[in-house]
Structure 1
Amino acid sequence: MLRIKKFQAKQKESRSKPVFILALITAVSLLGDSMLYIVLPIHWREAGLISLVEVGVLLSANRFIRLPLNPLISWLYSRMSLRVGLFVSLLIAGGTTLLYGWAQGFVFWFILRCVWGLAWSILRLGAYYMILDLSTNENRGHLMGTFNGLSRIGSLAGMLGGGFFIEWFGIRDVTFVFGLMSFLILPLILQIPSAVHIGGPEGTKVTASSLLKTPLLMRMLVTVFFFMLCLEGMITATLSHLIEVRNVSIRLDAVIIGAAALASIIQGSRLIVSVFLSPWIGKKSDGRWGRRPYLITALLLGAVFITLVEFQIPVYLWLSNLLAILLISSILVVLMDAFTSDIAEEKSKAATIMLYVIIADVGAAFGPVLGYLSEQSLGLSATYGISAAVLFLLSVQWVFSREKSSDQAQSTQNTTT
């Protein structure tokens, strides 16, 4: 019995170690990208841009370029090793981050953002395929949560670097350090499995068009699209604007913390808490109840917290409610990643994950644009009210769904054992 336990522990460690390493690689790759979300809206003139509209286009360009690239990269992964893909993505990420310090003019910036979108597609799809290949229904949520939580450290460090270090050392020094770090961690790729199996369970070929006829997958694709559109797109993009419109500020002695600083604090708090929350919720969803109850609950809570935004409550509770919305968003990302991976295990891994990533990118790309268009035409109250209603309807559709999935089968198996 002791030998069996030791063997199981070693097997678990061998599966989780590559996930930790890939999360570190992803975190370093995100440094430069996350930094721009703080730097460009403030220093856009120094970057050779002529308006904030160009800033918005540049921050969305990497998302739009991924839409046609994802199918190509998925196809390439069926013909190249995971290590090759990661090596290429790190080289591109490091190179683009270095060039951020010297970029001038919209065209130069646009090219760099599109090239970064290529690197991120290679890295993200590789991460999905590796975790899916290493995991089972009993630990997939935990591994997905661990990867999502740890990789967000890079976003936090990038935002802090953009907010503080650039003011002290300048953008060229900071981007040089961030880009150099991508090159320095290249040897870690040797700790990643070289090959991953991304076909069907028995090597069967499944096309994207045939997968669209799968009710459970279609339900998940609808969910991730509207989640990325409303919660990760419209709500997150308008967060600082919402705080400013509500005229919310906090006075600490003689210092007044305004809307931009409060939004940064809330976003940073989300990233820190998600490092611990994401693995925990992922592990819970691996348990006897499966992922569906947690998904339904998170969608309902998201609708409730978004609705509370319009209530006149004490400022600290109101700001805590905004943080709760962002944490719900982190929870939903983990649950949907794991749930979709369960479906992919039964179907074609490559085609399923490719569809999921494409739909998520479409929602993420159009979310901020629609958020501000809705704010101008309908107002923030209506925008947030529509988002809350959408999340509520999504939870209802999952309550009344009856499709059989590996998630349900896992729940039944854990109940009987």
Structure 2
Amino acid sequence: MENKKSSIVAVALITAICLAGDSMLYIVLPTHWKEVGLVSLVEVGILLSINRFVRLPLNPIIGLFYSRVNFRSGILLAVLLSGITTLGYGFAEKFELWVVLRCVWGFAWSLFKLGAFLLILQLSTDSNRGKFMGTYNGLYRLGSLLGMLLGGFLADIYGMKVISLFLGTIAFLSIPLIYKYLPTTIHTVALQIHKHKGSSSFKNGYSDILWMLGTAFLTVMILEGMFNAMLSHIINIQIAEESATYFFIGAASLAGILQAVRWGSLPFLTPRVGSLVDKSKMKPFVLFVFMIMATLSLLIISLDIPLLIWLPFLIVHLLISSSVTTIVDTMVSELASKMSNQVKIMTVFTIIADLGAALGPILGYTFEQLFGIRNVLVVCAIIILFLSIRWLLLGKFNKHSSFLNQKNHSIALDRN
């Protein structure tokens, strides 16, 4: 158990170290874009989103890669590419070179993300899958905390090149963790499924997968892609409408502080949420409860209320969003563990999640211009509410669901 947990912690920390360079850009590029050879903020927006779009066609290739190349080599390649791209940020002076670097990072991130999901899938059981997924989700986001805090501070003092060299070098220093803690290979495709009397059917399993993929797409699009991209904008609107004049901190600074609080809390929060999912015999109901909380927090955030009352609800919403992500990741992984084509299912899941993350900012700002941010938040709350009701009904009435049937597929690993 400890060796398995060490591997999960190691891949999360390696990912965090390499993620710092990417996260740094979200703070530094909007203010230092002239320094690195860009000509407009439009180019900044393209560069901060193109790595997400490039992952959509790349994810199937990554799935094929992991079915043919050993796991350790995949993570090593991801580290090397992330280190090179982060170093490159300090020397790139043309938009075209920046595009190449961001596309290469997108490839590296897909290696990290799908590789981690497949590792958790192999090392976990139904009794600890949620805890492992929560541990991974909580720890790898420390990279965002590191990149944004150090990035903003060091870039203002020393410039873009220094912080890029620093974070790029740190990425390479994570390589020893690969050889000490990560397994050389993982077995993911050779699963045999045997049906027992009363077990859920193969058809029902895929029905659950489709619902989970739809839920993943919408929750990532709304709670992660859209809300994270619009966080400082939402705060800025609330500050502008605040009648009190004593609030002096800027929206961008406040958004950074709130995200720091969020990511700093995740290593303690998400493993506990994952353990709650592991222990529950009604996983759809757990998802329902957290999605209801997300609905309520979205509705409260949409209100024009005093800022000092509004901000705590915003922090709670950020933490709930991360909890929903962990629950969805865990439930998809559990379903995939019962199927014969794990790599394909997890590949499709990463594609769906990346698509949601990429579309979220675009749709959010587009609809905000048309209908106003408060109406957008209310509509998002309604969408999450309908999803939560669907999962409540699944948990209450669908007795054949593979999530509810605790004596479902009997699975044997084929080691040949």
Q: TM-score, normalised to structure 1's length?
A: 0.90
Q: Distance in 1 between matches of 2:220 and 2:323?
A: 13
Q: Distance in 1 between matches of 2:406 and 2:261?
A: 34
Q: Distance in 2 between matches of 1:303 and 1:295?
A: 12
Q: Name the counterpart of 1:377.
A: 370
Q: Name the counterpart of 2:405.
A: 409
Q: Distance in 2 between matches of 1:292 and 1:213?
A: 14
Residue 247 of structure 1 aligns to a residue whose secondary structure is helix
Q: Which amino acid aligns with 2:249?
A: I
Candidates 45, 49, 55, aligned match of 2:34: 45
Q: Which amino acid aligns with 2:403?
A: D
Q: Deviations over 1:107-127 (max 9, x none)?
A: 111110000000000111110
CA contact (8 A) 1:240 1:263 kept: yes
Q: Name the counterpart of 2:392.
A: 399
The alignment yields a C-alpha RMSD, in angstroms, of 2.4
- Give the Å deviation of 1:203: 8.2
Candidates 352, 356, 360, aligned match of 1:363: 356
Q: Distance in 1 between matches of 2:389 and 2:246?
A: 48
Q: Which amino acid aligns with 1:409?
A: N
- Give the Å deviation of 1:37: 0.4
Q: Distance in 1 between matches of 2:321 and 2:368?
A: 21
Q: Deviations over 1:47-98 (max 9, x none)?
A: 2112211111111111000001111110111111000101100000000000
Counterparts in 2 of 1:406 and 1:137: CA distance versus 1, 3 Å:
farther
Q: Name the counterpart of 1:102.
A: 91
- Write out aligned runs for 1:2-151 (5 A): 12-151=1-140
Q: Name the counterpart of 1:315.
A: 307
Q: Distance in 1 between matches of 2:12 and 2:163?
A: 22
Gaps spanning 5+ residues in structure 1: where?
A: 1-11, 205-209, 413-417
Q: Deviations over 1:107-150 (max 9, x none)?
A: 11111000000000011111000111000000000000001101
Q: Distance in 2 between matches of 1:170 and 1:254?
A: 32
Candidates 256, 262, 266, aligned match of 2:254: 262
Residue 286 of structure 1 aligns to a residue whose secondary structure is helix
- Give the Å deviation of 1:44: 1.2
Does 2:171 correspond to 1:182? yes
Counterparts in 2 of 1:255 and 1:393: CA distance versus 1, 3 Å:
closer
CA contact (8 A) 2:336 2:342 kept: yes
Candidates 285, 293, 296, aligned match of 2:288: 296
After TM superposition, which residue ranges in structure 1, 4 or more long, deviate above 4 angstroms?
210-213
- Give the Å deviation of 1:405: 4.5
Q: Name the counterpart of 2:347.
A: 354
Q: Deviations over 1:141-187 (max 9, x none)?
A: 00000011011111100000111111122221111111111111212
- Give the Å deviation of 1:246: 2.1
CA contact (8 A) 1:289 1:411 kept: no
Residue 195 of structure 1 aligns to a residue whose secondary structure is coil
Does 2:154 correspond to 1:165? yes
Q: Name the counterpart of 1:8.
A: none
Gaps spanning 5+ residues in structure 2: where?
A: 195-201, 409-416
Q: Name the counterpart of 1:337.
A: 329
Counterparts in 2 of 1:201 and 1:273: CA distance versus 1, 3 Å:
same
CA contact (8 A) 1:217 1:340 kept: yes
Q: Distance in 2 between matches of 1:200 and 1:387?
A: 40
Query: Which range moved further: 271-280 or 232-241?
Result: 232-241
Query: Which range moved further: 382-391 or 211-220?
Result: 211-220
